[in-house]
Structure formats: C-alpha cells, structure tokens
C-alpha cells in the first residue's frame, strides 16, 4: 500500500514519485484494458463526454517525451480502481496524446518569440515572467509547456545575472513572476539567492510565485519557505493551480492557510478540462472550497492547443454556458475570469 501516512521531506517526495504509466496503473489496481474505448461514467451525476477521441492506454510515443510523474501525495487523492478519476485523468498518459490534430502545436502561446534573454518572457506591461526551472512536482498531460525546450530556454542551473541585468535596464517592470516548470522545485537556497538579487532593484515591488507544488506536494510549504518571502521587502503573491475539488485535501488547505496567515495572498488558476472539471457543479465545488479557505479563484483558462492535449478541449461555447451558471451560483469574488491566451497579445483575452 501507499506509504504516505508520514509526511516526508519534499525532496524525498520528488524522488519517490511514480515515473511510468505502468507504475501508476499498478499503484491504483488498474488494468490497461480498463482504458480501452470505454465511456466510463463519473462518480457524480453527469456522464463524461469524451468528445472526439477514444481513450485507451497502450504504449504511447508522447510518454517518452513527457514522462509520467506523479508524487504519492497526489496519488493518495486518486480513487483506486477508477480509470475515470478526475485527478488520474490529469496525469495518466493515454493513446489519444499521439493524435496529430490540426491547430495543435509545440509552442501554442508563442513563448519562444518573446524571450529577450534565456528563460525571460516579457509579454505584458509591467510584469516579466522568469522560467526559473524546467522541473515540476507533477506532469500534467494538458500542460502547454509540455514541449517547451527547458534545457535551452530556462535559467535552471545557470546564473540569474542576465535576468537581473534585464530587470535593471527595464525600469517599468514592477512585478517578477516566478514560473517554470515549477519554481518551488528549486531549493530554498536557490530561491533566497534570487530574492536577494532582486532586492536592490528598486522598481521591482512584487514577486508572484506561480506554483502547483502546494497542491501536489504540500509539505513543500515549510516555515522557512514562508519566511523567505514574508521577510523580504516584496509584496509576494502566490498563484496555485488546482482544477478539481478533490485536489484540495486537508493537508493542502492547511499549508496554504499558513501562507495566507503570513500575509501572502493566494490565488488559484484552473484549466477547463474535458472529463475533469467540465461541469458547473464541479467548478462550483472547487470555487466554494477555495473561498472557504480564503483562496481566491483567479483564472479559468481555456486549454492551450498544445500537441497531445486535444482530448482535453472543451469548446468555448460550452465554457461560456458553464460560466453563466457559476455567476448564478457563486458570490462575485468567487467567480474566476474565463480567459484564453493568444500569441501576440498584451494580456490574457477574457471570454465573455
Ligand atoms: C499569463 C502571463 C503573465 C501573467 O498575466 P496576468 O494577467 O498578470 O496574471 C505574465 N507574463 C506572461 C508571459 C504570461 O503568460
Ligand atoms: S505543474 Fe504546471 S508547468 Fe508543470 S506540468 Fe503541470 S501545468 Fe505544466
């Protein structure tokens, strides 16, 4: 059985993560054929509508490019024996990923066109995104960066100097977004180095940490990590990433609560995903659970059309219908903005 009753250090949690689809199936008591062609019902009321693609899990090409990676802490929230579990669907490679679908490519949001320095994305006014590392605490099959050339285009393992020089010479940048990959896969010493390097740059006032680690490996949120940001001179914001209420278990919520207690506001972004959260009921549950714990829903993203993720797409018209129901059922501050990212634009584009 899963030996994750006792919390382990987050680095060990990364080391012991499951790294193959066979391992994932074995851990959950699933057979390959359970993924074949079927249209399983969800545990809730609505049948899962697998729109265009049959679902089966043979040996797939894309798993060699973007390997399975699931920490036991996330695994423990997946229902054993259920091939249609909404958390499993986010991390389980299936054969539909190998389909070549028109309009789905390797760099759907045009990131590689806007890199003034290695690992630096400056698309929007006043804020700049640092691809701080290629590593993540989980591999999400729908990820728009699944083909991102991290080894050439992240600052992982390199010096922060070119980035710092870029910031120094762009005095209109007020906010630095730490992204990746997942910046919280960097050790505290590395993050401290970065915060220290940013500290003398007076026009930078805010740090925003985009991370899924508090959700997938919650023990990453240690007192020393909190202190690292809370004791800096920056207003620090966290943006976490959960798509389904089952991701938010007691440990996740209590760790995130500690960030908020320390004065760090926490927002959540989600991606609208077929078979995961494509219903108003599920998103109402997600948003309610978030605001009950002082986390504010920020964005609901339309899927970026990255190669291998077409089976996750929900048509925009359907997303708009879901948004209408969310507005009817939630307080205004609990309704995320439904947005799409388009290359060449200077902000996310709201879908209304
Ligand atoms: C999404 C994104 C941001 C942040 O956008 P906000 O609307 O401020 O959350 C910043 N830079 C890049 C390159 C982005 O893709
Ligand atoms: S954690 Fe974020 S960056 Fe990493 S695979 Fe998931 S969606 Fe992509």
Say yes or no: CB of residue 210 within 6 Å of ligand 2. Answer: no
Global pTM reads: 0.93
What does each of the 352 residues of the chain score in pLDDT, given as a tens digit? 455 556 799 999 999 999 999 999 999 999 988 876 444 444 444 444 444 444 555 568 888 889 999 999 999 999 999 999 999 999 999 999 998 999 999 888 888 777 888 889 999 999 999 999 999 999 999 998 887 777 777 777 678 899 999 999 999 999 999 998 999 999 999 999 999 999 999 999 999 999 999 999 999 999 999 999 999 999 999 999 999 999 999 999 999 999 999 999 999 999 999 999 999 999 999 999 999 999 999 999 999 999 999 999 999 999 999 999 999 999 999 999 999 999 889 999 999 9
CA 125–ligand 1 middle distance (angstroms): 9
pLDDT, position 46? 45
Q: Which candidate, 76, 66, 84, places its Cα nearest to that of 140?
A: 66
Does ligand 2 have an atom closer than 6 angstroms to the CB of 271? no
- Show the ligand 1 pocket: residues with CB < 6 angstroms: 121, 123-124, 127, 129, 177, 347-348
Q: Tokens 């728009």 sit at which residue?
A: 144
Å from CA of 347 to ligand 1 middle: 7
Each residue of 176-232: pLDDT tens digit? 999 989 999 999 999 999 999 999 999 999 999 999 999 999 999 999 999 999 999
Nearest-CA residue for ligand 1 atom 9 is 348
Atom of ligand 2 nearest to the CA of 216: 1
Scored b (16 or more CB within 10 A) or e, 150-183 reads beebbbbeeebeebbebbeebeebebbbbbbbbb
Q: DSSP letters along 125-158, please?
A: TTEEEEE--S--SS--TT-TTTT--HHHHS-TTS
DSSP state of 66: S
pLDDT at 53: 46
Amino acid 163: pLDDT: 94
The burial class, CB within 10 Å (0-12 / 13-18 / 19+), for 231 is: exposed
Question: Nearest CA to 178 among 237, 266, 126, 118?
Answer: 237
Q: How far is the CA of 204 from the centre of ligand 2 (A)?
A: 26
């Amino acid at each position: 059985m899963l030996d994750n009753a006792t919390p382990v250090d987050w680095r060990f949690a990364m080391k012991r993560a499951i790294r193959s689809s066979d391992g994932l199936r074995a851990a959950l008591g699933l057979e390959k054929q359970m993924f074949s062609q079927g249209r399983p019902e969800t545990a809730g009321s609505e049948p899962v509508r697998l729109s265009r693609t049959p679902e089966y899990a043979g040996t797939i090409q894309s798993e060699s490019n973007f390997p399975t990676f699931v920490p036991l802490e996330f695994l423990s929230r997946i229902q054993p024996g259920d091939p249609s579990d909404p958390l499993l669907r986010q991390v389980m490679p299936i054969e539909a990923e190998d389909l070549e679908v028109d309009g789905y490519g390797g760099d759907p949001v045009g990131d590689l066109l806007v890199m003034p320095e290695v690992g630096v994305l400056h698309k929007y006014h006043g804020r700049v995104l640092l691809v701080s590392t290629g590593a993540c605490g989980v591999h999400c099959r729908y990820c728009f960066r699944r083909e991102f050339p991290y080894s050439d285009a992240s600052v992982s393992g390199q010096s922060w100097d070119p980035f710092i020089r870029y910031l120094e010479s762009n005095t209109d940048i007020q906010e630095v977004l730490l992204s990746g990959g997942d910046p919280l896969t960097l050790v505290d010493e590395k993050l401290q180095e970065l915060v220290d390097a940013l500290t003398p740059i007076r026009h930078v006032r805010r740090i925003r940490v985009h991370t899924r680690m508090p959700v997938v490996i919650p023990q990453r949120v240690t007192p020393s990590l909190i202190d690292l940001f809370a004791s800096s001179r920056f207003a620090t914001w966290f943006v976490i990433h959960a798509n389904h209420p089952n991701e938010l278990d007691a440990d996740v919520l209590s760790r995130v609560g500690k960030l908020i207690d320390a004065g760090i506001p926490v927002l959540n972004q989600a991606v609208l995903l077929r078979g995961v959260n494509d219903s108003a009921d599920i998103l109402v549950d997600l948003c309610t659970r978030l605001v009950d714990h002082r986390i504010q829903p920020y964005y609901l993203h339309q899927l970026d059309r990255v190669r291998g993720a077409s089976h996750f797409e929900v048509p925009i018209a359907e997303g708009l219908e879901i948004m209408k129901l969310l507005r009817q059922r939630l307080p205004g501050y609990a309704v995320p903005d439904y947005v799409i990212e388009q290359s060449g634009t200077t902000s996310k584009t709201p879908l209304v």
